[in-house]
Amino acid sequence: MLRSIATVCLSGTLPDKLESAAAAGFGGVEIFEQDLLSFEGTPAEAGRMAADLGLAVTLFQPFRDFEAMPEPQRSRNLDRAERKFDTMQALGTQMILVCSNTQAATLDDPARAAADLREMAARAARRGLKLGFEALAWGRHTSRWRQAWDIVREADHPALGLILDSFHTLCMGDDLAGLAQAVPPEKLFFVQFADAPRLRMDPLSWSRHHRSFPGQGELEVPGFLREVLAAGYAGPISLEIFNDEFRAAPSRRIARDGLRSLVWLDEQAGLAPLPATPALSGIEFVEFAVDETARAELAAFLAALGFRLAGTHRSKAVQLWRNGGANLVLNAEPDSAAAERFAQLGPTVCALAFRVDDPARLMARAEALRCPTFRERVGEGERRIPAIRAPDGTLVYLVQATGPGDRPIWEDDFLLAPEATAPGALRGIDHVAQALAPGMLDSFVLFYRAVFGLAPDAPWELPDPYGLVRSRAFTGGVADGVEQVRLPLNVSESTRTGTGRFVSALAGAGVHHIAFATADAAAAVQAASQRAAPLLDIPANYYADLAARFGLGEAETAALQAHHLLFDQDAAGHGFRHAYTLPFQDRFFFELAERGVGYEGFGAANAATRMAAQQRGRAR
Ligand SMILES: O=C(O)c1ccc(O)c(O)c1
Ligand SMILES: [Mg+2]
Asked if 360 and 497 sit in the same domain, the reply is yes
Q: Return d(Cα 309, Cα 299) in angstroms, integer.
A: 8
Asked if 243 and 340 sit in the same domain, the reply is no
> Which of 268, 303, 318 is the last residue in one of the domains?
268
Q: Return d(Cα 443, Cα 213) in angstroms, integer.
A: 9
| pLDDT band per the 50, 70, 90 thresholds, residue 382 | confident
Asked if residue 44 is part of any domain, the answer here is: yes
How large is the average pLDDT for residues 245-250?
95
Asked if 455 and 396 sit in the same domain, the reply is yes
Asked if residue 344 is part of any domain, the answer here is: yes
134 Cβ closer than 6 Å to some ligand 1 atom: yes
Asked if 241 and 305 sit in the same domain, the reply is no
Q: Return d(Cα 517, Cα 496) in angstroms, integer.
A: 29
Asked if 105 and 176 sit in the same domain, the reply is yes
How large is the average pLDDT for residues 8-17?
98
Which residue type occupies 345? L
How large is the average pLDDT for residues 85-106?
97
Q: Name, in order, each residue with C-beta under 8 angstroms of 407's C-beta and a sequence gap of 6 or more.
A: none
Asked if residue 274 is part of any domain, the answer here is: no
Distance of CA 213 to the CA centre of its chain: 9
If one counts every other C-beta atom within 10 angstroms of the C-beta of residue 139, the result is 23
The atom of ligand 1 lying closest to the CA of 102 is: 3
If one counts every other C-beta atom within 10 angstroms of the C-beta of residue 197, the result is 16
Angle at 334 between CA 328 and CA 336, to 5 degrees: 70
Q: Return d(Cα 218, Cα 197) in angstroms, integer.
A: 5
Residue 590 bridge partners (DSSP): 514
Asked if 316 and 260 sit in the same domain, the reply is no
How large is the average pLDDT for residues 379-392?
87
204 Cβ closer than 6 Å to some ligand 1 atom: no
ipTM over 0.90 threshold: yes
Q: Name, in order, each residue with C-beta under 8 angstroms of 596's C-beta and a sequence gap of 6 or more.
A: 574, 575, 576
The rounded mean pLDDT for the chain is 94
Q: Are strands 188-193 and 237-239 parallel, antiparallel or unpaired?
A: parallel
Asked if 259 and 293 sit in the same domain, the reply is no
Q: Give the mutation target among 134, 166, 243 for probing the ligand 1 site: most ligand atoms within 8 A of CB.
A: 134
Q: The domain containing residue 24 runs over which residues?
A: 3-268
**Number of separate helices (H) and strands (E) present in the chain:** 23, 26
Which region among 151-160, 288-297, 398-407 has the lowest average model confidence (pLDDT)?
A: 398-407
Q: Return d(Cα 118, Cα 122) in angstroms, integer.
A: 6
pLDDT digits (tens, 9 = 90+) for 168-197: 999 999 999 999 999 999 999 999 999 999
Q: Give the mutation target among 192, 207, 239 for probing the ligand 1 site: most ligand atoms within 8 A of CB.
A: 207
How large is the average pLDDT for residues 409-436?
90
Asked if residue 273 is part of any domain, the answer here is: no
Asked if residue 74 is part of any domain, the answer here is: yes
Q: What is the pLDDT of residue 423?
A: 86
* Number of compact structural domains in the chain: 2
| pLDDT band per the 50, 70, 90 thresholds, residue 408 | confident
| pLDDT band per the 50, 70, 90 thresholds, residue 377 | confident
Q: How far is CA 455 from CA 218, 259, 448, 474, in A?
A: 11, 20, 8, 6
| pLDDT band per the 50, 70, 90 thresholds, residue 619 | low
Asked if 258 and 321 sit in the same domain, the reply is no
Give the CATH number of the domain where residue 517 resides. 3.10.180.10
Say how many Å lie between the CA of residue 384 and the centre of ligand 2: 46
Asked if 77 and 179 sit in the same domain, the reply is yes
- C-beta separation of 191 from 235 below 8 A: yes
Q: What is the pLDDT of residue 457?
A: 87
Share of the chain above pLDDT 70, in %: 99
Stated as kind and residue range, the H or E segment containing 349 is strand 348-356
Asked if residue 104 is part of any domain, the answer here is: yes
Q: Are strands 280-289 and 326-331 parallel, antiparallel or unpaired?
A: parallel
Asked if residue 275 is part of any domain, the answer here is: no
Say how many Å lie between the CA of residue 136 and the centre of ligand 1: 7
Asked if 422 and 309 sit in the same domain, the reply is yes
6 Cβ closer than 6 Å to some ligand 1 atom: no
> Which of 210, 243, 268 is the last residue in one of the domains?
268
Asked if 558 and 416 sit in the same domain, the reply is yes
SS3 label, residue 89? helix
Q: Name, in order, each residue with C-beta under 8 angstroms of 418's C-beta and a sequence gap of 6 or more.
A: none
pLDDT digits (tens, 9 = 90+) for 278-333: 999 999 999 999 999 999 999 999 999 999 999 999 999 999 999 999 999 999 99
Q: Return d(Cα 227, Cα 169) in angstroms, integer.
A: 12
Asked if residue 469 is part of any domain, the answer here is: yes
Q: Return d(Cα 524, Cα 511) in angstroms, integer.
A: 23
Q: What is the pLDDT of residue 545?
A: 92
- Identify the residue whose C-alpha is closest to ligand 1 atom 11: 136
To the question of pTM greater than 0.90 for the whole model, the response is yes
> Which of 268, 303, 327 is the last residue in one of the domains?
268
pLDDT digits (tens, 9 = 90+) for 51-83: 999 999 999 998 889 999 999 999 999 999 999
If one counts every other C-beta atom within 10 angstroms of the C-beta of residue 111, the result is 12
Q: Give the mutation target among 7, 33, 136 for probing the ligand 1 site: most ligand atoms within 8 A of CB.
A: 136
- C-beta separation of 613 from 537 below 8 A: yes
Asked if 241 and 359 sit in the same domain, the reply is no
Q: Return d(Cα 133, Cα 145) in angstroms, integer.
A: 9
The annotation status of 431 as a binding-site residue, yes or no, is yes
pLDDT digits (tens, 9 = 90+) for 515-572: 999 999 999 999 999 999 999 999 999 999 998 999 999 999 999 999 999 999 999 9
Give the CATH number of the domain where residue 216 resides. 3.20.20.150
